[in-house]
Amino acid sequence: MSEATNNTQAIPAATSRLLLRAIDLSKRFPLSSGWWDRNPSFVHAVDGVSFDLMAGETLGIVGESGCGKTTTGRMLVRLAEPTEGQVLFENESGDLEDIAHLKGQPLKDFRRRAQMVFQDPYESMNPRRTIFDTVAEPLQVQKIGDHAERLERVSETLGLVGLTPPSSFLFRFPHELSGGQRQRVAIARALVMNPSFVVADEPTSMLDISIRTGIMQLMGELADRLGISYLYITHDLAVARYMCSRIAVMYLGKIVEMGETEEVLQNPVHPYTKALLSAVPVPDPEATRDPIDIKGSVSVPVDPLPRCRFYDRCPIADNFCRDNDHPPLQDKGSGRLAACYKA
């Protein structure tokens, strides 16, 4: 499954404590042709997504570009406000509170506990700010410590992510670092607030293959050491297998299959999951694999019909699928959930 192997798992151990629960989470973006358009169309980027994340767990979201993975992650850390739904997150007293529509100081307090690592380490940092300024910015925004205390905390965090000695990195600029070093800085910026939850949006996809595994091992070690829960977004099933204890497969804004990683990858239930796996290269020139006969290309998520999102491309769809709403996620055995009437 592409560049990651399964020899040394980076998967941290989950606990039985619920950290986050997404309930019917949706995000729609209006498409208007002008102020006179009284019936605008909407892009249904995320539509009715629900899942739980346990403390210490890494949940992967996989799917092709445009399926809603990043939008889901951004809503969970409130970089985007949901159109509908709830995001229940464990607060400092241990209770679940809905953070989906927080404003002002409560939202600022929430940001101490939830952070995001962005995909592109070349675009996610200000080229005019030093590494110290970049990593210390969350501390400054939250008014934590004075300059000396921030310097100490940033140095400790840089050492934690493998940028040693920290003193040689503190006052360098992003253009002076390699891609892997920049992504370690991005991870340090996310961890300097000691969050309990981090959304990792394809943090290795922009890096050379030779250093991807090192970054993934680092993130797994930090999760174990610091008790962090990840929502790990990726289009690479090998990365999901290496990093995640469970995965959710998304298609056009919907979760179509979810379960334990090995179960999903070894015995896929949904036709779309089977199609994804059939597209993964096999490192054996003599190996053969039966192609999945899906039709057409990815549909446009603008005002989709209420039926199954995969109907137009599905090789096993019939009139029942056409005439009924999108199927709910149902238990298909062994804790596997799939949104398919025919699976």
Band of the pLDDT at 333, cuts 50, 70, 90? confident
Average pLDDT over residues 53-70: 94
Cβ partners under 8 Å of residue 165, min gap 6: 159
**Total structural domains in the chain?**
1
* pLDDT attached to residue 32: 73
**Any domain includes 68:** yes
Distances (CA, A) of 268 to 48, 87, 275, 278: 22, 28, 9, 11
* H or E element that contains 69: helix 69-76
Q: Which residues pair with 87 in a beta bridge?
A: 22
Judge whether residue 5 has pLDDT over 50.
no
**Any domain includes 283:** yes
* pLDDT attached to residue 4: 47
Judge whether residue 9 has pLDDT over 80.
no
**Any domain includes 35:** no
Instruction: Return the structure tokens found at 166.
Output: 């920290």
Which residue range(s) make up the domain with 140? Answer: 2-30+42-338
Number of Cβ within 10 Å of residue 260's Cβ equals 15
Distances (CA, A) of 4 to 42, 160, 214, 216: 37, 23, 11, 10
Number of Cβ within 10 Å of residue 146's Cβ equals 7
Average pLDDT over residues 117-145: 93
| Buried/exposed 98-135: b ≥16 CB within 10 Å, e otherwise | ebbebeeeeeeebbbbbbbbbbbbeebbeeeebbbbbb
**Any domain includes 114:** yes
Pairing of strands 330-331, 41-54: unpaired
Asked whether the beta carbons of 193 and 137 are under 8 A apart, the reply is: no
Band of the pLDDT at 2, cuts 50, 70, 90? very low
> Whole-angstrom Cα distance, residue 155 to residue 94?
30
CATH number at residue 9: 3.40.50.300
Band of the pLDDT at 61, cuts 50, 70, 90? very high
**Any domain includes 37:** no
**Any domain includes 343:** no
**Any domain includes 46:** yes
**Any domain includes 258:** yes
